[in-house]
A = this chain, B = another copy of it.
Amino acid sequence: MTTVGVLGGGQLGRLLALAGYPLGLRFRFLDPAADAPAGHVADHIFAPYDEEHLARFAADVDVVTYEFENVPAGAAAFLARRVPVYPPPRALEVTQDRLEEKLFLRHLQIPTAEFAALDDTWGSVFEALERLALPVVMKRRRLGYDGGGQRLLRTMAEVEAAWVALGSSPAVLEGLVGFTRELSLIAVRGRDGDVGYYPLVENRHVDGILRHSLAPAPNVEPRLQAEAEDYAARVLTTLGYVGVLTVEFFERDGRLLVNELAPRVHNSGHWTIEGAATSQFENHLRAILGLPLGSTLPVGCSAMVNLIGTLPDPQPILRLPDTHLHLYGKAPRRGRKLGHVTARVAAPGLLEERVRVLQHLIGEPDGTGTGLAHLNRV
């Protein structure tokens, strides 16, 4: 019986376990939060990521993975000396630091927003602004998640205030990208180097939090999908990556810029549970266990809507055809992802209507996520 150890016990971990049980796997989660959602469905070691607990954790599991990218890189490296860890800890190091990530992408000749590193001197800000025109986005280099740690700055006064608020945290400044829409690609690479790509997904954010995904993204030419896969392939190969990798893109003038990388299963891939031949969760597990990857082909068209902050009445949602409710067992709290709903339809033209029906049922104002996504996002 193979036991998978997971660092982090949030909903992504919970969904991993639910996908892994049919493969006969056992799961053990290490998470310092007492009420981790994965703890309802699997063993949960409620402990900090210190060496004593990590050593004990490593002894009890056959392979380790993680469900969020802010796992201390030292913890992953410590575990990797005792038990296989996938994705490789190097992927954590690159993606935990927005500057490292941008430099890594530049090295691979993958387009991103213009950026400049800030140190703790005003001079570095000034120098950056010689290259980047206002408005700009100031981002902390570390611990960004769901739009946290970033501010849109329109004026020099705002820049100065943000820089003061930053204290001496390392940061980057990014040029604002005028984009048509946000897309993401869920990619997976097996231990044998085999790779799979799901179709590009269209994502809509509000306040930096994903609200809706349409999958496959409507109006994607094969050339755009190929471009996305090419960029993902460079990242996967360079890192010797194993598992699911998510690449978030901006689409601008029919081309892609990488916004960020997530070395894990991703909210914009939840639709794959019902909407693809094999879910991102099952494929991540297949990858890290050295099993053959499953087909990434879509099954129909899917609209995924997040349930944020409050829990809707499940009754009308459960009455909709081919509509699947996923709750994470979390207590309601403002801005918290409590679950999601995936509705499958036969054709892309039906997706928007289904999103509107779901928005109505979950009490989301009309037009949410359909406006200026980027300005909302930063």
Q: Which residues of A contact B (CB under 8 A)?
A: 1, 14, 17-18, 21-24, 26, 40-42, 277, 286, 291-292, 294-295, 311, 314-315, 318-319, 321-322, 324-329, 339
Which partner residue on chain B sits nearest A300 by CB separation? Answer: B299
What's the nearest-Cβ distance from chain B to residue A267, in Å?
A: 15
Question: Is the Cβ of A292 less than 8 Å from the Cβ of B319?
Answer: yes
What's the nearest-Cβ distance from chain B to residue A285, in Å?
A: 11
Kindly identify which residue among B18, B42, B315 contacts A292, using a CB–CB cutoff of 8 Å.
B315
Question: How long is the Cα–Cα vector from A314 to B25 in the complex, in angstroms?
Answer: 12
What's the nearest-Cβ distance from chain B to residue A65, in Å?
A: 18
Question: Is the Cβ of A21 less than 8 Å from the Cβ of B22?
Answer: no
Residues from chain B with Cβ under 8 Å of A24 in the complex: 311, 314, 325, 327-329, 339
Question: Is the Cβ of A21 less than 8 Å from the Cβ of B40?
Answer: yes
Residues from chain B with Cβ under 8 Å of A14 in the complex: 21
Residues from chain B with Cβ under 8 Å of A22 in the complex: 18, 324-327
Question: How long is the Cα–Cα vector from A293 to B315 in the complex, in angstroms?
Answer: 10
Most buried by B among A26, A40, A277: A40
Query: Given A26-B40, A40-B26, A41-B41, A21 and B329 touching (CB < 8 A)?
Result: yes
Question: Is the Cβ of A318 less than 8 Å from the Cβ of B291?
Answer: yes
Question: Is the Cβ of B295 less than 8 Å from the Cβ of A23?
Answer: no
Kindly identify which residue among B41, B42, B277 contacts A322, using a CB–CB cutoff of 8 Å.
B277
Query: Given A21-B14, A21-B40, A41-B41, A26 and B329 touching (CB < 8 A)?
Result: yes
Residues from chain B with Cβ under 8 Å of A291 in the complex: 314-315, 318
Question: Is the Cβ of B295 less than 8 Å from the Cβ of A322?
Answer: yes
Question: How long is the Cα–Cα vector from A22 to B17 in the complex, in angstroms?
Answer: 12
